Amino acid sequence: MEDKDTYQVVFYKSVNGYCLTEEFLESIPVKVRAKVAKWIIRLEECGPDLPRPYADVVRGKIRELRLVFASHHYRFLYYFSHKSIIITHGFIKKTQEVPENEIYRANSAMLDFEERARKGEVVL
């Protein structure tokens, strides 16, 4: 059985150091940030076993951390890489489905990160 305490959340940063997750977190209210922090810790504890409605598979390896606060639906897209959870970015969901451009953004970040990890440019 896997040790569930060994997952670590990492925010994806582009090759030039830009982090969409940090930018999004800075743009949302402090109370929401506190709730997000709580659920990121829970995600680290549970890993892929964090159940719906808190997490869900979006497409392929891309998953979403799901939070509701004051009728806003906050989403953080992420994927697993070994024992790391790479959060690609966050957004406020305004439609029933996760928008295609958000899935594309997460997939692009994943491909970039994994290629840079393969080359040893990023270390988990």
**Total of domains in the chain:** 1
Predicted structure pTM score = 0.93
DSSP SS3 for 11: strand
Is residue 105 situated within a structural domain? yes
> In this model, does residue 3 exceed pLDDT 80?
no
Q: Do 89 and 12 form a contact (C-beta atoms < 8 A)? A: yes
Is residue 124 situated within a structural domain? no
Which position has the higher pLDDT, 3 or 107?
107
Is residue 45 situated within a structural domain? yes
What are the tokens at 73? 């639906």
Task: HSE, CB side, 13 Å, CA atoms: give it for residue 109.
Answer: 30
Q: Do 32 and 74 form a contact (C-beta atoms < 8 A)? A: yes
CATH code for the domain in which residue 105 is found: 3.30.2310.20
Is residue 123 situated within a structural domain? no
Is residue 92 situated within a structural domain? yes
The DSSP secondary structure of 58-105, one letter per residue, reads EETTEEEEEEEETTEEEEEEEEEETTEEEEEEEEEE-SSSPPHHHHHH
Read off the pLDDT of residues 80-115 as tens digits, 9 standing for 90 and up: 998 999 999 999 999 999 999 999 999 999 999 999
Confidence (pLDDT) at 29: 95
Range of the domain at 54: 4-118
